[in-house]
Amino acid sequence: MPSKIAIVGTGLVGRAWSIVFARAGHDVSIFDPMEGASAKALELIAQNLPALAEANLLRGETPAAVLSRISRADILEEALANAVHCQESAPERVEVKAALYKELDRIAAPETVLASSTSGIPASQFSEGLAGQRRVLVAHPINPPHIIPLVEIVPAPWTDPAIVTQTRDLMAAVGQSPISTTREINGFIVNRLQGALLAEAFRLVEDGVCSVADVDAAIADGLGLRWSFIGPFETIDLNSARGVPGYCDMLGQLYYDLAKEQADLREWTPDLVAKIDEQRRAALPLSEHQARQDWRDRRLAALVGHKREQAQKDGTS
Ligand SMILES: NC(=O)c1ccc[n+]([C@@H]2O[C@H](COP(=O)([O-])OP(=O)(O)OC[C@H]3O[C@@H](n4cnc5c(N)ncnc54)[C@H](O)[C@@H]3O)[C@@H](O)[C@H]2O)c1
């Protein structure tokens, strides 16, 4: 049933969350302590919505209908009043989050879930000792969440498991794809996976094995095609007639040997970063960076639309 959602912090991520909840039918109250920030956010959201409607990402609604559910709150109390869920998207600084959560916990009704978009600060670092620490957790999106559905739910040691379930259910109901950890862990799930891949990508370039462009092609024209709709476990399961055991019998030793080679830790030294940057800038001058970001976002929206269409056609998720 549609209910009220509070968005606290209306930068890049807060604006995207506003769209996620409003297009799912929720009333969204946005708050930002910086003068003029939430008014600017509403303007930017309004500018963004027509392109999303075109990409079929507004559930068939008009931009005006979605926008009509988003309102500005002048004070935090107004945003939090009667909210079932607060999605905090304030700056990624532990002292900012710690001070803010004291306020949120003091003002919000005890049943309001307090979820942080933090990319990497465990919820225990800003919720310890709060009277309502049981209702605080991380709900980390992949930017931008109105296009990319994945959200990582990461509880603090004291988060009530019922709050994890409630947050997963809410995220699924608004069309996101929630995953959750059983405990706090650095980097959550996505950045741990991405970190492992990046470590190898940097190593291959540092050792002169291949170019930056070839690493990118290995994913964009290879692994990434499957990964855009099935993950690594389903990939290996489907790559052997006997499923995962068959794959592991076939290639387990190879991967074990590779893992031993990959165990030597490398720092991303200034020289290595410069080498990678040189190749990237030759492919894409900085003057074209913004245009390429816009292109990426259009392609992402089209890909997500395509995935939804295919899933509807063949009845898969
Ligand atoms: N940008 C990303 O790619 C990305 C992805 C996933 C998660 N996140 C996380 O989302 C959060 C927000 O990131 P962003 O990229 O939107 O940052 P941003 O700088 O675009 O926006 C932050 C907003 O918070 C406001 N703000 C400042 N102090 C505040 C306070 N005390 N209370 C509430 N709001 C306050 C600012 O005015 C600003 O509008 C961070 O925790 C970040 O790690 C970011």
Asked if the structure places residue 301 within a domain, the reply is no
- Point out the domain boundary residue: 148, 180, 212: 180
259 and 222 assigned to the same domain: yes
Residue 246 included in any domain: yes
Residues whose CB falls within 8 Å of the CB of residue 15, separated by 6 or more in sequence, listed in order: 41, 44, 45, 48
Question: Using a 6 Å cutoff on CB, does residue 117 contact ligand 1?
Answer: yes
261 CA distance to ligand 1 middle (Å)? 38
Q: What is the pLDDT of residues 3-27, one digit of tens each?
A: 999 999 999 999 999 999 999 999 9
Which residues on adjacent β-strands are paired with residue 141? 151
Structure tokens at 9: 């912090």
- 13 CB under 6 A from ligand 1? yes
Q: Last residue of a domain, which of 180, 203, 227?
A: 180
Token readout for 213 is 């462009």
- Whether residue 115 is found in the same domain as residue 10: yes
State if residue 44 touches ligand 1 by the CB under 6 angstroms criterion.
no
> Could you tell me if the CB of 100 is within 6 A of ligand 1?
yes
State the distance between the two ends of the chain, measured CA to CA, in whole angstroms: 22
Q: Which of 7, 8, 10, 13 has most ligand 1 atoms within 8 Å of its beta carbon, as the pocket-test mutant?
A: 13
Q: Which atom of ligand 1 is nearest to the CA of 141?
A: 6
Ligand 1 within 6 A of CB of 93: no
Q: Which residues neighbour 262 within 8 Å (Cβ) at sequence distance 6 or greater?
A: 199, 200, 203
**Residues 129, 198: one domain?**
no
User: What single-letter amino acid sits at 39?
Assistant: A
What is the domain-level CATH number for residue 200?
A: 1.10.1040.10
Cα of 69 from ligand 1 centre, angstroms: 22
Q: Which of 79, 11, 73 is nearest to 45 (CA)?
A: 11
In the chain, the percentage of residues whose pLDDT exceeds 90 is 91
CB atoms within 10 A of CB 188: 21
Does residue 136 belong to any structural domain of this protein?
yes
Identify the pLDDT of residue 317. Answer: 67
Ligand 1 in contact with 11 (CB < 6 A)? yes
Residue at 312 is within a domain: no
Is the predicted pLDDT of residue 31 greater than 80, yes or no? yes
Does 163 reside within a domain? yes
Residue 123's domain is classified under what CATH number?
3.40.50.720
> What pLDDT was estimated at residue 87?
98
- Residue 282 to residues 33, 89, 217: CA-CA distances in angstroms? 41, 35, 16
Ligand 1, from 20, 30, 32: best to mutate by most atoms within 8 Å of Cβ? 32
Q: Which protein residue has the closest C-alpha to ligand 1 atom 2?
A: 143
103 ligand 1 Cβ < 6 A: no
Q: Is the CB of 95 under 6 A from ligand 1?
A: no
Tell me: do 219 and 165 sit in the same domain.
Answer: no
- Average pLDDT value for residue range 274-303: 95
Residue 316 lies in a domain: no
Q: Is 119 in the pocket of ligand 1 (CB under 6 A)?
A: yes
Q: Which of 44, 97, 92 is nearest to 70 (CA)?
A: 44
Among 180, 207, 234, the domain-final residue is 180
The partner residues of 87 in beta bridges, in order of sequence, read 7, 115
Residues 277, 285: Cα–Cα separation, whole Å = 10
- Model pTM score: 0.94
Question: 166 with 136: CB under 8 angstroms?
Answer: no
Q: How many domains does one find in the chain?
A: 2
Tens digits of residue pLDDT in 67-124? 999 999 999 999 999 999 999 999 999 999 999 999 999 999 999 999 999 999 999 9
Report in angstroms the alpha-carbon separations of 208 from 2, 112, 212, 215, 219. 55, 53, 10, 12, 18
Containing H/E element for 14? helix 12-23
117 and 214 in a single domain? The answer is: no
CA distances to 22, 74, 79, 299 from 82, in Å? 16, 16, 8, 38
Q: In what order do the strands lie in the sheet with 113-116?
A: 70-72, 27-31, 4-8, 83-88, 113-116, 136-141, 150-155, 177-180
- Please work out whether the CB of residue 180 comes within 6 Å of at least one atom of ligand 1: no
Q: Is the CB of 161 under 6 A from ligand 1?
A: no
Give the model's pLDDT for residue 316.
Answer: 82
Pairing of strands 150-155, 136-141: antiparallel
| 186 domain-assigned | no
- Residues of the domain holding 277: 191-283
Residues 271 and 122 in one domain: no
What are 70's two structure tokens? 């988003």
Q: Whose CA is nearest to atom 7 of ligand 1?
A: 119
Asked if residue 136 and residue 8 are part of one domain, the reply reads yes
The closest of 54, 78, 80, 58 to 68, measured between CA atoms, is 58
Average pLDDT, the chain: 96
148 lines ligand 1 (CB under 6 A): no
Q: Residue 8 Cα, ligand 1 centroid: separation in angstroms?
A: 9
- Does the beta carbon of 154 sit less than 6 angstroms from any atom of ligand 1? no
Q: Residue 266 — pLDDT band, cuts 50, 70, 90?
A: very high
Ligand 1 centre to CA of 299 (Å) is 25
Assess whether the C-beta atom of 87 lies below 6 angstroms from ligand 1.
Answer: no
Question: Is 313 inside any structural domain?
Answer: no
Q: Which amino acid is at 64?
A: A
